Structure 1
Amino acid sequence: MATFLPPPILCERLETIVGRAGGSLAFRDAAERVAYALPAQAVAEVREFLSARAGVKIEATFQAVLPGGRVFGSGNVLAPDGRSIARDVSEDFGKAFDEHWLLTYPRIRQPEAVAGTTAVVATTQGVGYGHWLLEELPRLLAADLSGCDALLANVRENFAVEALRHFRFGGKVLPVRRDHHLQCERLIVPSLPGPAGWPTPEVVRRVTAFAETLPKEKSGAGGAERIYVSRERAKRRRVENEEALWAQVEARGFQKVFLEELTWAEQIAVFRGAREIVAPHGAGLANLVFCEEGTRVVELFNRAYVNPCFWRVAALKRLDYRPVVTAGETALAQDLSANKCDIEADVAQVGRALA
């Protein structure tokens, strides 16, 4: 019968843990404030909603060496004794700094020892495409992996496998799992590129520069300049009135695209070649990072879940971003409990956005 360890008892900054363990931490880029330009074509209530979410302070980036450091699950970093969580590199989306799901998690197994030098670039939600592309991949690209024997990363999905194959890490890649608990002889921990959902100019630069080195693929949309990204095959956040919406955009020469059918390289090619994009909010819009400046983007939202993360990408890329939210009596919100809700598209408003 498995014996489980008690969970950690507090959250700390990695720098504090490293100092106590006799490790080191070197700062890189200085702290900065990033501002995101409001979309000129948004209606008043959407502009007001976004204006309160239009800037963030990004902490200075770093890379740390933590002797005996532990990694639990998808990239959560623990102190060598397992008593604290390095909260600034262990995301728990929507929680305060001193909160984390691991503090009450009852099923922590004894750690498995990993010899040599191991780097962790896996992020908590990096199994999902949007979080991987804008959080985990930039973390990998920013890391100094010289002398590393192993790399902890999310590699369950084809896009991550494609990227790592091209990245050509010389050591062993160790896939992360939710209940996996490792204790590393020497753990390299690069900082996160910023809070989830708040991309930085450096994130955009690193991801686009890496994509430019990939072998060029033909567009999975046949080179279409107008694309509609459909979620009709998804399990959540589908468009309730997709038939009416599709009739509207098809008449304007749009081609329907199912991103789940495409390789990563094909997705990049689709968004590079697009000049007009209509899509419900979804992870595939992380690909806006590959769009050309001026590309028109119409993103559809449910009033209860207006997530600004892809607007921020569009702002940094200087895209012609036009959010569409169906009119209603309830206030706009970013309610995490509503992130699976379907979307009713305002077809008339989409038509105006494309005029």
Structure 2
Amino acid sequence: MENVFVNSAGQIWRNENEVIHHGNRAIETIGVSSSRSYGTAVLSTNSTRGFYHWFAERLPALNWSLQNPDFDGTILFGQHAQQFQDKTIELIDHPAPQFERIDQVAWCEECYIAHSAASTLAQWEYFGDLYQAIGERAARLSTINTADAIYISRRDTQRRVMVNEHELEAGLSSLGVKVVIFGEMSLADQINLIRNARLVIAPHGAGLSHIAAAASGLKVVELVPCQMGSHSLRFNFARLSYARGHDHRLWLEPIDEAINKWTVSTPPLLRHVENMMHSLG
């Protein structure tokens, strides 16, 4: 599109009578003077609901501009963009395009839209090199010791609390599994751990998004708290694994949604993990 106004919510218009995209809500900034002007821009301002939606959906939609050394433009994030978006862009090895946050209204002479959807996972050959490049730079920057088997702990979050996670971590550690908390380390360390692991065990959560950067053949055990009828809502990481050629297994446990807590059946899970550890050789 040419000669358009855009705002932090991802809405696009030329004037009040020519609205191109409103996102099913009124454009409150029509008539507001633009604070910045851009020659060529890529609009990627829709609010990101979490790391998965950024790393596995929105990032590949930007691949054509991120991996194109001849692209001379600016990627526009919204004012509520998360820090992990900046950190990801910084891991691109060659000089990355400029990216900026827009707080109100910007004017673009030429504007591209980065559409994203889970269906892009079926087109991995078009953007797999982007994750490879990010992974290679993460490996050079990382300072953490890697391991064949890791457990991504969620004890640093209050969402979907696993009541007996300390017990599970102790049991996994006794089997030689490295317990990590991604919230306490850099993005480079997180990605490097995943790239070098052969087995990843983790509760359902954003930490599993990093498997997008892992090599094919990775074994994944995803611990999924669920209620009857809610299983279909929690297959996003399994779909990501399928696209990447991973061996992905779901370990289902009931959750009490009233208190947002759940418990893992530790003995059978540890036996299952021990068998998988033996299969690693």
Asked if Structure 1 and Structure 2 have the same fold, meaning a TM-score greater than 0.5 normalized by the shorter chain, the answer is: yes
Whole-angstrom CA distance in 1 between matches of 2:263 and 2:29: 41
Q: Is the 8 A contact 2:4 2:109 kept in 1?
A: yes
1:17 corresponding residue in structure 2: none
Report whether the alignment pairs 1:309 with 2:228. Answer: no
Structure 1 residues 163-190: Cα deviation after superposition (integer angstroms, max 9, x where no partner): 247452455x3214xxx33241324214
Q: 1: distance between equivalents of 2:146 and 2:247?
A: 20
Does residue 344 (structure 1) correspond to residue 263 (structure 2)? The answer is yes
Partner of 1:128: 50
Query: CA offsets, 1:95-141, max 9 Å, x none?
Result: xxxxx5x5168687825243231413425243732222122322222
1:161 alignment partner AA: K
Q: Structure 1 residue 86 and structure 2 residue 14: aligned? A: no
Closer, same or farther: CA 108–297 of 1 in aligned 2, 3 Å: farther
1:81/1:349 CA distance change after superposition, 3 Å = farther
Task: Please report how far the alpha carbon of residue 232 of structure 1 lies from its aligned counterpart in structure 2 after TM superposition.
Answer: 0.5
Identity of aligned residues (%): 21
Q: Distance in 1 between matches of 2:71 and 2:171?
A: 55
Deviation at 1:203, TM superposition (A): 6.2
- CA 239–221 in structure 1, closer or farther in 2 if over 3 Å, else same: farther
Q: Secondary structure at the match of 1:271?
A: helix
Return the letter of the residue paired with 1:78. Answer: I
Instruction: State TM-score, norm by structure 2.
Output: 0.77
Alpha-carbon RMSD across the aligned residues, in angstroms, is: 3.3
Contact 2:62–2:114, Cα closer than 8 Å, also in 1: no
Q: Secondary structure at the match of 1:294?
A: coil
Verify: 1:322 aligned to 2:249, yes or no.
yes
Separation (CA, whole Å) in 1 of partners of 2:194 and 2:83: 20
Q: Tell me if 1:66 matches 2:8.
A: no
Task: Specify the code of the residue in structure 2 equivalent to 1:168.
Answer: P
| Aligned counterparts of 1:238 and 1:218: Cα–Cα separation in 2 | 32
Alignment of 1:192-211 (within 5 A): 192=115, 194-196=116-118, 199-200=121-122, 201-202=124-125, 205-211=128-134
The one-letter code matched in structure 2 to 1:295 is L
Name which of structure 1's ranges 102-111 and 224-233 shifts more when overlaid on structure 2: 102-111
Q: Unaligned stretches of 5+ in structure 2?
A: 276-281
Structure 1 position 149, deviation (Å): 4.7
Whether contact under 8 Å (1:123, 1:136) holds in the other structure is: no
Aligned to 2:137, the other structure's residue is in SS state coil
Paired AA for residue 56 in structure 2: L
In the superposition, relative to structure 1, how do residues 147 and 138 fare at CA in structure 2: closer, same or farther (>3 Å)? closer
Report how far residue 352 of structure 1 moved: 4.6
Partner of residue 300, structure 1: 223
Correspondence for 1:20: none
- In the other structure, the counterpart of 2:77 is 153
- Kindly indicate whether the alpha-carbon contact (under 8 Å) linking 2:91 and 2:138 is maintained by their aligned counterparts in 1: no
User: Equivalent residue of 1:297, what SS?
Assistant: strand
Q: Is the contact between residue 153 and residue 203 of structure 2 (CA under 8 Å) also seen in structure 1?
A: yes
**C-alpha distance in 1 between matches for 2:143 and 2:178:** 11
Within-5 A mapping of 1:134-283: 134-143=56-65, 148-153=72-77, 156-158=82-84, 160-161=86-87, 163-164=89-90, 166=92, 168-169=95-96, 171=98, 173-176=99-102, 180-192=103-115, 194-196=116-118, 199-200=121-122, 201-202=124-125, 205-214=128-137, 216-217=139-140, 222-283=145-206
Segments of structure 1 that go 5 or more residues without pairing to the other structure are 1-64, 88-99, 331-337
The answer (yes or no) to whether the contact 2:14–2:20 under 8 Å persists in 1 is: no
